[in-house]
Structure 1
Amino acid sequence: MRSFPILALLFLAVPLLEIYLFIRVGGWIGVWPTIGLVVLTALVGAFLLRMQGLATLARVRRSLDEGRIPARDMLEGVFLVFGGALLLTPGFFTDAVGFACLLPPSRRLMATWLLSKGVFIVHSSRGGPPPGGPGPQGPGGRTIEGEYTKDEGGRMKDE
């Protein structure tokens, strides 16, 4: 899939949609209430981002302590950052998408959907070597200890 035309369309369509929504909402409720609403959504978004970010971080730590891979929680963290950035961007459409990324039910649904579609693949090196080779233990699973220095050219040499 070619991403440049999609990104170019988004960078053109989203600001035009935001301008249209500003004009419509400003016509319904007035200029100052519209500006106040945009500022209010940014403040509420920052508060939600802090609360949900700390909760997600706690879940990631708990998963790691239990020896599980926190793939969904980490993906939710990406959605939190993306949603927070959208909420700080003035506009009603970006606010709607940002709140969808910050609210736990929709965020979990999006993260679970992306993981189920194979968009993100999670590998664990626990219980054996990673798919690419023997891993840090060296061949046969035993640890190989050694020391090295770098010469003037930046190459490593054994001691």
Structure 2
Amino acid sequence: MKFFLLFLVIFPASEIGLFLLSANWIGVLPTVLLIILTGFLGAALAKRQGIEVYHKVQRDLQYGKMPGDAILDGLCIFIGGMLLLLPGFLSDIIGLLLLFPATRNRLKPFLSRRLKKMSEGRRVKIIK
């Protein structure tokens, strides 16, 4: 919990610092336009990938497979899309990492272990 509170202070402060650096480097208007552009591009990319994952879940269910991997992809895409909609360069970078399949596939094992650990610690209840 201490780390979460520390994160709530450091992350926004870092975003503000990057906004100021960007405004000094490329100007205020280009910085604002860049933030808006990443929001729109992130929403479009998340929508497209979300539809692909939805179809993958349907295929898995048709063939009688549990769509665990596809659901984890969907979770990553949802979080990545939300991060891209937030104004900020750090959140955009993390959001893009979660949206691109190559980097998402590298992050999924960590996320899977984390979710499993949370469910074993009874912080998350998985209903079967």
Partner Cα distance (2:68, 2:98) in 1 = 16
Aligned with residue 24 of structure 1, among 21, 26, 49:
21
Q: Which has the higher contact order (CA 8 A, sep 6+)?
A: 2
Larger radius of gyration, structure 1 or 2? 1
Gapped regions of structure 2 (runs ≥ 5): 118-128
Counterpart contact for 1:86–1:95, Cα < 8 Å:
yes
Q: Does 1:93 align with 2:90?
A: yes
Q: How does 1:130-141 map to 2 (within 5 A)?
A: none
Identical-residue share of aligned pairs (%): 35
Tell me the TM-score normalized by structure 1: 0.69
3-state DSSP class of the match of 2:64?
Answer: coil
Tell me the TM-score normalized by structure 2: 0.85
Partner Cα distance (2:114, 2:4) in 1 = 22
Summarize the Cα distance change of 1:19–1:63 in structure 2 as closer, same or farther, 3 Å threshold: same
* Alpha-carbon RMSD: 1.5
Partner residue, 1:57: 54
Partner Cα distance (2:87, 2:111) in 1 = 27
Partner residue, 1:68: 65
Gapped regions of structure 1 (runs ≥ 5): 122-159
3-state DSSP class of the match of 2:66?
Answer: coil
The answer to which structure has the higher helix fraction is 2
After TM superposition, give the deviation of residue 118 of structure 1 in Å. Answer: 6.7
